[in-house]
Chain A
């Protein structure tokens, strides 16, 4: 065997093991990577207690209420299937934060079953469509369906829930 062939075998072996490592990490990340919890999971007691976690979901329509004399804002996070959690925060809400859109907030549950958020982030989809056109499409096809975590499903993709 020529030295070059040995080196080719070495590189192939290295590539195979790197590929295997990558596949294993991907597999492990899918099961353990609880980046956020859906309202359904929190209500079922699957979210950590007394520790900070992230709550994802849609902001319920007409649920955002701001206090008159403080920074406090309250809104309801829903998955559009009846699982709802009230979020209380006194942080600034981001520009993209809107009712009926996805949000991710970080905080803890209190005794009253409310989520006290230290940070509220807005989430958006990867659709870059002009405003007017999208409004027309929405009227024709109705509101967008949502995923388990309450975020919007990209339309026209045919993904399974």
Chain B
């Protein structure tokens, strides 16, 4: 059976299909985030060997948000490329809907990192390679959103910002290698390496639960935002004017 992907790429079909899946993503997100945070707060050790006390539990928000910040950037570039190649309206809509959640996740990652840094390292911010590259990621997200809204004509705004997203992709491997340095003697920094080798199983469980919850949350809000953009861009079409939610 051949699936006609272009059928689902039509904003009208996507609108109804995504509308049905949003409640599922919301429920999954809430269940996983709630379970993950409960697990993280009550089932994990109070004090760690590296000297950290209860405040290390901010990791359950920090890790999920930084992973999503990088992952959503890749997702955004994927949609931008599909849009550039196939000229599909929906891909550009998905890219711009993803950008705002990505920027939010980057921001949460920076803020939780700063709070954690103040309590453990002794500073809110340091120009360490890992922290600095992550700040650049936030600026790229903001640049994408700004460019998108600065150009009046949507078709041109979509293409220009998709190109910016594509160029900005260069930062993702840099952050990845800054955090997961292959040779620790060559890139010493303040931020620890993100190895998942020696982590207490309950801490690991809570980290995975909350990260998955953040992912499902991203699905839910990105789909909702994409539906809003569709309504806005297609407001003059008949299918939108026939929607029950529009005719209230």
Interface residues of A, Cβ cutoff 8 Å to B: 4, 7-8, 10-11, 14-15, 18-19, 21-23, 25-26, 29-30, 33, 35-36, 38, 56, 92-98, 101, 104, 119-131, 133-135, 147-149, 151, 153-157, 159-161
Contacts and interface: CB of A to CB of B under 8 A. Distances in A.
A29 to B, nearest CB: 7
B121 A122 contact: yes
A28 to B, nearest CB: 10
Interface stretch (B47-55, B65-73, B237-245): B47-55
A154 B196 CA distance: 11
B174 A22 contact: yes
B38 interface: no
A154 B49 contact: no
A111 B66 CA distance: 43
Interface of B: 45, 47-53, 56, 59, 81, 84-87, 119-123, 126, 128-129, 163, 166-167, 169-174, 177-178, 183-190, 192-200, 203
Nearest to B191: A123
What is the predominant secondary structure among interface residues of chain B facing chain A?
loop
Given A11-B81, A14-B166, A95 B190 contact: no
A129 B199 contact: yes
B190 A123 contact: yes
A69 B85 CA distance: 71
Contacts of A130: 45, 47-49, 200
B122 A97 contact: yes
Nearest to B192: A126
Nearest to B81: A11
A25 B170 contact: yes
Contact of A26 (B45, B119, B177, B184): B177
Nearest to A34: B188
A94 B121 contact: yes
A126 to B, nearest CB: 4
B49 A123 contact: no
A123 B184 CA distance: 14
